[in-house]
Amino acid sequence: MKKKFVTGKKVMTLLLSAVMIFSMTACGSEAPAEAAVDEGSTEATKEAEAGTENVSGEAAAGEMADSITIVRTADAAYLDPNAESIGGAEVMVMQQIYEGLVKSSLDGQSIEPCLASDWTISEDGLTYTFHLVPDIKFSDGTPVTGEDWEWSLLRARDTETSAYAFIAEAIDTVEATDSQVVITLKQPWAPFLADLCNFNMVVGCKAYYDKVGAEGYNKAPLGTGPYMAAEWVKDDHITLEANPYYHEAGYPKTKQIVFSVVTDDNTRLMQLQAGQADIVSEVPLSMAPVAEKDENLNFQMFDSTQQRYFILNTTKAPFDDIKVRQAFEYAVNKEELAQVIAGEYGKPAASIVSDTQGKWCDTDLQSAAYDPEKAKEMLADAGYSDGIDFTLTIRSGSDIYEQMATLIQSEAKEAGFNITIEKLESAAVSEKYENLEHQATILMWIDDIVDPSGVCGWTVDYDQCNGWYTGLNDTALDDLNTQACSELDETKRIEMYHDIQQKVHENANVLPLFSNGFAYASGKNIEGLYVSPFSVLDCKELVKTK
């Protein structure tokens, strides 16, 4: 019997996190109104405020500002990497505080050392040996120990309430000293090195956790990253201070980063234009041309793995008929959809894997051209000469999803599909598609790692989420996905993933719609701004000149 490392119970909330990552909408329960830091962290903060050898000499010389404010749409709900549900609002902050053995490169194409200087993998693919960078300390000055690594990685695997526990489920044992970490897997798992780049596969301080408990750990996390938590006023701002014990000389380049919550799109841009903010982390695509033309701002569009998808429930009529699903693809004008919603920043998508993932994406797949007459013919052949009525359920309060739904409704009507749009709150929409009570919905995905196993597994591994909430249990495709994760020959893996993408295209239960980049705007005096295709913002490079 094949072994899978993902269970539906453990990852039922994962897609909700993925759906909300671009809009930075946090999931789960609220954090305390204001977070305090422990005494050690407070002392570290004082050192950082006074200036330390790790903050660049240029900053000390007064050529750079001490603080940078990033405005975004929502606050974090958690700062524990193994919390119940994590989205983009949490990840953006945690990635400044925590570090793992390895990390994804800025361009999203490779894996680089982080707290491990180098590593070896046994020929059977079961044993990973990492040699650690020496003398790493947490931001309170406590040395990182082998016990911290064992505790952290096993906690990532064993925290059942974590939406991302599946990332570590391949781990069998962890044996660590102060100089190396040896991880043994239950079976060969080709994506594992990429999995270690995920935000929950990081080192935390066991002694600190034992001291402050789960609630304290969530409010005032302790990591080895370039920044540490200094203040958290719920739904207003999170302030990070430079880690005085950071291991990279000259970093971070700015002493303080403030993540400020401003929910209104216009207000965020106005604050940036007025100099009250330094970076807007989420520029609505409809406002991007305005930001781009403003001579006082820098507007940047970064490559991303973000794509939006039309999800069809194959357990209910009419989409239990593959002919109807295939007909529907010709009823959606992807070119128009990308142009209207994302303008020059969007493009139609054909594969479930983003083309930003390079070799893993099957670029031979082509999007079906909008052809309402062909769709009508296909419906007639399937026995629906009079057309089809169905309900499209989307979350309310999102201009993008409402615009998409309205446009698709108009396009599909010409092809014989009469769509009723149902708008519900996020929790209600999630509950509906998780229980396969919907007919269709629109969702979004952003990859977290340098490997296609995330989106492919989510789409075809039925145990994860019922075939991405479509109810389609294609056992042969599921088996192929498991084989692709266990295959250590990269050439063979690429072929397998291309086959998976082709078959998903034929099944037509998950229809890729369009992709677009990440839109950021900043003041002219901001340097070092870069966002990876996985939506990772590396704040340690940020500089604000006075």
Residues 351 and 257 in one domain: no
Return the axis-axis angle of helices 206-219 and 146-158, rounded to nearest 10°. Answer: 50
Cis peptide before 226 (omega within 30 of 0): no
Prediction pTM value: 0.81
- pLDDT tens digit at each of 546 positions of the chain: 333 333 332 332 333 333 333 333 222 222 323 333 333 333 433 343 443 444 444 444 447 889 999 999 889 998 999 988 788 889 999 999 999 999 999 888 899 999 999 999 999 999 999 999 999 999 999 999 999 999 999 999 999 888 788 899 999 999 999 999 999 999 999 999 999 999 999 999 999 999 999 999 998 999 999 999 999 999 999 999 999 999 999 999 999 999 999 988 889 999 999 999 999 998 888 889 999 999 999 999 999 999 999 999 999 999 999 999 999 999 999 999 999 999 889 999 999 999 999 999 999 999 889 999 999 999 999 999 999 999 999 998 778 899 999 999 999 999 999 999 999 998 899 899 999 999 999 999 999 899 999 999 999 999 889 999 999 999 999 999 999 999 999 999 999 999 999 999 999 999 999 999 999 999 999 999 999 999 989 999 999 998
Contacts of 117 (CB under 8 A, 6+ apart): 131, 132, 133
Is the CB of residue 80 less than 8 Å from the CB of residue 214?
A: yes
The predicted structure's pLDDT at residue 2: 32
529 and 426, same domain (yes or no):
no
* Per-residue pLDDT at 397: 77
72 falls within a domain: yes
Report pLDDT for 25: 29
Residue 301 in domain: no
Q: Of the candidates 459, 476, 479, which has an alpha carbon nearest to the alpha carbon of residue 468?
A: 459
Q: Is 116 exposed, middle or buried (0-12, 13-18, 19+ CB in 10 A)?
A: buried
Q: Are residue 426 and residue 526 in the same domain, yes or no?
A: no
CA-to-CA distance for 107 and 103, rounded, in angstroms?
Answer: 11
Q: Is residue 314 part of a domain?
A: yes
Residues 346 and 392 in one domain: yes
Angle between helices 334-342 and 399-413 (to 10 degrees): 150
CB-based contact 429:402 (threshold 8 Å): no
Phi first, then psi: give them for residue 316, nearest 5 degrees: -125, 150
Return all residues near 132 (Cβ < 8 A) that are at least 6 apart. Answer: 115, 116, 117, 144, 178, 179, 180, 181
pLDDT at 404: 96
Contact 485, 189 (CB under 8 A): yes
Asked whether residue 21 is assigned to any structural domain, the reply reads no
List the CATH number of the domain containing 106. 3.40.190.10
- Considering the domain architecture, whether residues 78 and 146 belong to the same structural domain is answered as yes
One domain for residues 395 and 451:
yes
Q: Is 2:186 a contact under the CB 8 Å cutoff?
A: no
Judge if 211 and 317 occupy the same domain.
no
Instruction: Tell whether 428 and 448 lie within a shared domain.
Output: yes
- Whether 24 is covered by a domain: the verdict is no
> Based on the domain organization, do 325 and 238 belong to the same domain?
no
Distance separating alpha carbons of residues 91 and 221, to the nearest angstrom: 13
Do 373 and 229 share a structural domain? no
State how far the alpha carbon of 146 is from the alpha carbons of 130, 470, 529, in Å: 12, 43, 34
- By residue range, what is the domain housing residue 355? 307-516
pLDDT of residue 435: 96
Structural domain includes residue 13: no
Q: Which residues of 122-145 are buried (b: 16+ CB within 10 A; e: fewer)?
A: eeebbebbbebbeebbbbbebebb
- Identify the pLDDT of residue 483: 96
Question: What's the pLDDT at 15?
Answer: 32
CATH number at residue 384: 3.10.105.10
Output the pLDDT for position 107: 86
CA 467 – CA 425 distance, rounded (Å): 23
Give pLDDT, residue 519: 94
Residue 443 placed within a domain: yes
What DSSP line would sit under 141-169, residue for residue? SPBP-HHHHHHHHHHHHH-TT-TTGGGGT
Q: Are residues 246 and 273 in the same domain?
A: yes
Q: 371 phi and psi, to 5 degrees?
A: -150, 80
Helix-, strand-, coil-residue percentages of the chain, each rounded to 5? 35, 20, 40
Same domain, 239 and 375: no
Count up the domains in the chain and report the number: 2
What pLDDT does 39 receive?
34
Query: Structure tokens of 533?
Result: 């295709």
What is the pLDDT at residue 49?
Answer: 40
Q: Show the tokens assigned to 475.
A: 């056992």
Q: Which helix (H) or strand (E) holds 445?
A: strand 440-445
- Let me know if residue 298 belongs to a domain: no
